[in-house]
């Protein structure tokens, strides 16, 4: 199959998905003309493959489908005259007029979850929407025998944001544990889009809390192998997000055989179930507002005292199970991760635009 494909290629969300799907398309024998969005930032292992696909621009098939993996407000730029498919990843339940126009101008829209499919179909009339789930690389994010250390380690990865529930997590951690508990909370939350002052304010919120001495702030690491090593050194991923466009880190934690705690709302409900996750029920939505990135367009999960209590209970349960010597390997999560490979993503994508 010939395909014209546009996406970022960098360590951020779109870039990670863009590169992994490109790699699997190429491995499957798809002739991809790759038109990167922004500067390419990738390891030397992928350099030859990426350059080959970029070189295919010189002989691209103008009748082939064009897939643009990018924001829903910027889908206009496509290659050739074939089918035009936009592939946005979004967190909110409504769109601006610009977003509706860009989505509505596509021949087909690809989304990574049925939650997202329902939102697009609700907001944009008569649009062909297909689900193409994202994936995980189990050659990197693999499970290994548990490390028999006494400390129970909770891990959160994701750039500092209200949307990701970082204002909530610190409250739940303090509610769940006492200083005498053998527990730690690891926070890996580099956000390139905020100032140093804002970064320090987030860290101060955690460090100055009652359980602050049990919180560790982890620096950003160089590659995904190091991320996976951090995940394997922890026991449970905790992600009290108000809204997610997919939640790569949660699936990667599952793939490493780790417990995960999440809100029962938004795109990660595509792969998070009662069999592989501890889900925090969400009873209502609220205006999506943080004063920085989100200013009232649409809604996201409302998290209050009830949800914080449930989150704290889930964290305490993981701690108790490990302290009692019980098995906390997430077997259901491993099974889910096996089915959600990047190879599967590439196959679903080509099937959706064929």
pLDDT (tens digit, 9 = 90+) per residue, 256-276?
999 999 999 999 999 999 999
> Which of residues 132, 161, 186 is at a domain's end?
132
pLDDT (tens digit, 9 = 90+) per residue, 203-261?
999 999 999 999 999 998 888 999 999 999 999 999 999 999 999 999 999 999 999 99
Which pLDDT score is estimated for 144?
87
In a domain, 10, yes or no: yes
* C-alpha span between 7 and 10 (Å, rounded): 10
In a domain, 345, yes or no: no
Residue 80: domain span: 2-132
Quote the mean pLDDT of the chain: 96
Residues 59 and 91 placed together within one structural domain of the fold: yes
In a domain, 30, yes or no: yes
pLDDT (tens digit, 9 = 90+) per residue, 162-197?
999 999 999 999 999 999 999 999 999 999 899 999
CA proximity to 143, closest of 234, 235, 254, 256? 256
Residue 178 contacts residue 207 (beta carbons within 8 Å): no
- Note the Cα 99 to chain centre separation in Å: 21
Residues 290 and 198 placed together within one structural domain of the fold: yes
Check whether 147 has a pLDDT greater than 80: no
> Which of residues 73, 98, 132 is at a domain's end?
132
Question: Where residue 218 sits, what CATH number does that domain have?
Answer: 3.40.50.2000
Query: In angstroms, what is the C-alpha Rg of the chain?
Result: 21
Which pLDDT score is estimated for 145?
80
Report which secondary-structure segment, H or E, holds 298.
Answer: strand 295-301
Check whether 148 has a pLDDT greater than 80: no
Report which secondary-structure segment, H or E, holds 131.
Answer: strand 129-131
Q: Which whole-number Å values give the CA distances from 237 to 78, 300, 323, in the listed order?
A: 38, 21, 17
Residue 226 contacts residue 244 (beta carbons within 8 Å): no
In a domain, 344, yes or no: no
**What are the DSSP calls for 1-31, one per residue?**
-EEEEEE--SSSHHHHHHHHHHHHHHHTT-E
């Amino acid at each position: 199959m010939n395909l014209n494909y546009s996406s970022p290629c960098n360590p951020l969300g779109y870039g990670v998905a863009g590169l992994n799907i490109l790699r699997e398309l190429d491995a499957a024998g798809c002739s991809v003309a790759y038109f990167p969005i922004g500067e390419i930032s990738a390891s030397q292992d992928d350099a030859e493959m990426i350059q080959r696909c970029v070189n295919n621009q010189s002989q691209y098939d103008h009748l082939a489908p064009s897939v643009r993996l990018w924001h829903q407000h910027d889908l206009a730029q496509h290659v050739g005259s074939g089918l035009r498919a936009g592939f946005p990843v979004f967190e909110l339940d409504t769109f601006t007029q610009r977003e509706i126009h860009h989505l509505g101008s596509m021949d087909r829209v690809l989304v990574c979850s049925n939650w997202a499919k329902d939102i697009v179909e609700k907001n944009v009339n008569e649009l062909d929407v297909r689900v193409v789930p994202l994936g995980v690389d189990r050659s990197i994010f693999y499970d290994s025998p548990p490390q028999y250390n006494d400390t129970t380690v909770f891990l959160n990865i994701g750039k500092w944001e209200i949307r990701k529930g970082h204002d909530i997590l610190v409250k739940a951690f303090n509610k769940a544990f006492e200083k005498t508990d053998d527990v730690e909370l690891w926070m890996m939350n580099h956000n390139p889009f905020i100032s140093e002052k804002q970064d320090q304010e987030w860290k101060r919120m955690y460090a100055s809390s009652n359980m602050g001495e049990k919180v560790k702030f982890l620096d950003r690491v160089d590659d995904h192998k190091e991320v996976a090593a951090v995940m394997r050194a922890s026991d449970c991923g905790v992600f009290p997000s108000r809204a997610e466009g997919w939640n790569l880190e949660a699936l990667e934690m599952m793939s490493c055989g780790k417990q995960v705690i999440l809100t029962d709302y938004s795109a990660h409900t595509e792969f998070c179930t009662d069999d592989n996750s501890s889900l925090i029920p969400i009873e209502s939505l609220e205006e999506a507002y943080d004063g920085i990135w989100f200013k009232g367009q649409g809604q996201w999960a409302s998290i209050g005292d009830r949800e914080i209590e449930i989150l704290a209970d889930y964290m305490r349960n993981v701690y108790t199970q490990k302290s009692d010597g019980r098995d906390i390997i997430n077997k259901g999560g491993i099974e889910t991760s096996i089915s959600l490979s990047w190879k599967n993503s590439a196959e679903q994508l080509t099937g959706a635009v064929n």
